[in-house]
Amino acid sequence: MLKYPKDCRRKGIEGNVHLSLKINAEGKLTRIDVMNPEDVDLSLQHEAVSVMSLYPWGFKPALDRSGSPVESPLNQPINFRFP
């Protein structure tokens, strides 16, 4: 579950963390990279990566032209906004 970092909440910091994920042929998450580290607070980056690394379900792998599963990238934004 996504938890807004306390230090960012206190300071009123919002942001969008753009993650690049690598999904292997078995549908497992093998790599997470933050694509915009210079644009968003480090605490928000850590929380976004933490949440994605704990994602409990597998992913459906991409298929090549013959229908075989292959490794593929996936972009995932995580938005931190106050209600």
Spans of all domains in the chain:
6-80
Residue 52, pLDDT score:
94
Q: To the nearest whole number, what is the mean pLDDT of the chain?
A: 95
* Of 64 and 83, the one with more pLDDT: 64
Q: What's the predicted TM-score (pTM) here?
A: 0.88
Pick the closest to residue 51 from 6, 3, 13, 11 (CA basis). Answer: 3
Radius of gyration of the chain (CA): 15
Q: Does domain 6-80 have CATH number 3.90.1150?
A: no
- Torsion angle of C-alpha atoms 23, 35, 44, 4, degrees rounded to 10: -50
Q: Average the pLDDT over 30-38 and give the result.
A: 97
